[in-house]
Amino acid sequence: MSSTDYHHAGGLEFGDGNVKVDPSVSAKLPLGCRIVSIKAHGSSFWANTGRIDIKLTDGNSKSFFIKVTSQEVGKNMVRSEFECTMAIHTLLSNFTPKPITWGTYQTNTDTHFYLCEFREMIEKMPDPYEFTKQLATLRQNSKCPEEGKFGFHIPTYRGNLPQLAGWESSWETYFTKSLKLDLAFELEAKGPDAELNTLLPVLFEKVIPRLLRPLESEGRTVKPCLVHGDLWYANSGIDVETGACLVFDACSFYAHNEYEFGQWRPVCNRFGKEYLDAYHSYVQVSPPEEDYEGRLDLYKLCVGIGTIMEMELTLVRKFNTRVSALFRDDRTLREQ
């Protein structure tokens, strides 16, 4: 996978008193505004991130968040973030910062950017009921443009790796293909593994059909719901001015509504049982309810620390599939 290291465009760096932006960026700022400052803000493994403060023609102030990265994969990443954030913002305008645009620098055509409104946030866990009410509303009100299908119209990116694009009528089929893609990235990054060679046939031939096929059997159906895609605590915050719950850094697609709760299972994610209980006060557990815990363990494979296992629990191995693929040099991520 190509690097996304930012190729600095001369004179357009964040900080050091700079007040210049690329013409592609300035064209999307309010007409007649004056840039007051451009500062580094936040952090990212894959991009440079900053805050642009401006003065409007009426004398009021306004701020924007900008993310800048390079190469073709960087271009795909900022397009992904714009499309995903716009999908969420269209349904719940106060649940994510308003996306403005994405594009390519005129001064350096290998440099790409994402621009959205700036929302000052505090690093505090949101109220479980307020936060999950927003999630429930997002799930319930979302309507897939490809009716009854799972997926997304473009590849969306978690980190610098793409997720499965396109559409599938079956959730089991989409999930299986998506997990195979993640595992392919992991194997490319870390090389072959004898234990995985033993466990993966069990996963795909036994575990997935046992846990996901009943969702779509005996008259049961799964509604494709818009999910954030990488909903861990560091991709959420609370608006300083309004107190509203916010999410950002989305890599969305249409999925089973319980899908990303697998990422909430490890204690380190901080979205504990109280958040799941709050969510299910708005949305019932999908039937068959007795498979719920197993489904979330399965979903951890794509979005967090997961377990590959036979249903009889005779083989167990935990590892972080996508994170292991993202951080190629850290072999401990395969052994967690």
More confident residue, 190 or 325: 190
pLDDT band at 327 (very low <50, low <70, confident <90, very high): low
What confidence score (pLDDT) does residue 311 get?
32
Whether 63 has a pLDDT exceeding 50, the answer reads yes
- Residue 312: pLDDT above 70? no
Q: What is the per-residue pLDDT for 46?
A: 84
144-183 confidence digits (pLDDT tens): 999 999 999 999 999 899 999 999 999 999 999 999 998 8
Specify which residues 245 forms β-bridges with: 238
Mean pLDDT of 273-299: 97
As a whole number, mean pLDDT of residues 295-304 equals 82
Per-residue pLDDT tens over the stretch 113-129: 999 999 999 989 999 99
- Model confidence pLDDT, tens digit, residues 27-38: 999 999 999 999
270-274 — which CB contacts under 8 Å span 24+ positions?
270/125, 270/233, 271/231, 271/232, 271/233, 274/128
Quickly count: other Cβ atoms within 10 Å of residue 155's Cβ. 18
Banded model confidence at residue 11, pLDDT cuts 50, 70, 90: low
The pLDDT of residue 8: 55
| Out of 124-128, 183-187, 236-240, 330-334, least confident range | 330-334
